[in-house]
Amino acid sequence: MIIVSIVDIHGNSAPIDLLKEPLSAADLVLIGGDITHFGGEEKAREVIDKVRWYNPNVLAVTGNCDTKEVDDYLYRENINLHARSFRQNGVCIVGAGGSLPAPSPTPNVYSEEEYEAILETGLEGCDMTVPMILVSHQPPIGTLNDTISSGAHVGSSAVRTFIEQYHPLVCFTGHIHEAPGIDKIAGSKIVNPGPLGTRSYAYLDVTDTVRTLEIRKF
């Protein structure tokens, strides 16, 4: 299965047209949050519809800059991964949206305890005999992907514990714009492709193992 993952769109759907070839060739598109920049359903629909123009197979989580209205819209479209799982091509995909609280208030935040419950709820529908992929806007703590410009780690311990316990093949994340890259926790790959506006996306070729995982430019 070929997966393209994009994140931190922040309502700027223009780059999606430049990504039309990779989107069209993918089996699945995963959107890792911050679809809008404090926007609601109208802006989220604009972004999702543009992605769907090139590929109808889309799953998403919201980010901390998305409102509840965006979550509700994604649920109505049956593409919201938050606290849910979907099975695609023999892979279970689990999701968690939002982020931990940050110094600047945003509308979609959760505590560590809430993240623990969100992830466990999402796991309930997951077939544990098949490989897993995690989509979490909030990165796990202690990787290059949660390192801000000061050098501090601002990731989630609950997300990291989930990864250490359930060993997803890949965790697609975002949120920390200055921390793109691929890292790992035990056998799990952690990838933040960087905001879509930097013309970056994650490319995954996966079966029961990771065949190719790259951050690509367009």
Question: Element (H or E) spanning 121, and its range?
Answer: helix 112-123
Q: Could you report the per-residue pLDDT of 184-208, keeping only the tens digit for each?
A: 999 999 999 999 999 999 999 999 9
How is residue 84 written in tokens? 């849910």
Q: Where are the beta strands (DSSP E) in 110-206?
A: 132-136, 170-172, 181-185, 188-192, 200-206
Of the candidate CATH numbers 3.40.50.2000, 3.30.260.10, 3.40.640.10, 3.60.21.10, the domain formed by 2-217 belongs to 3.60.21.10
Tell me the pLDDT band of 48, cut-offs 50, 70 and 90. very high
Q: Tell me: pLDDT of 170 over 90.
A: yes
Average pLDDT over residues 152-170: 98
Average pLDDT over residues 151-179: 98
How is residue 77 written in tokens? 């479209």
Q: Could you report the per-residue pLDDT of 89-135, keeping only the tens digit for each?
A: 999 999 999 999 999 999 999 999 999 999 999 999 899 999 999 99
CB 95 within 8 A of CB 83: yes
Average pLDDT over residues 152-158: 97
The residue extents of the domains of the chain are: 2-217
Q: What percent of the chain has pLDDT over 70?
A: 100
Query: What is the pLDDT at residue 125?
Result: 86
Q: Report the chain's terminal Cα–Cα distance, integer Å.
A: 21
Tell me the pLDDT band of 60, cut-offs 50, 70 and 90. very high
The CA distance from 104 to 148, in Å, is 14
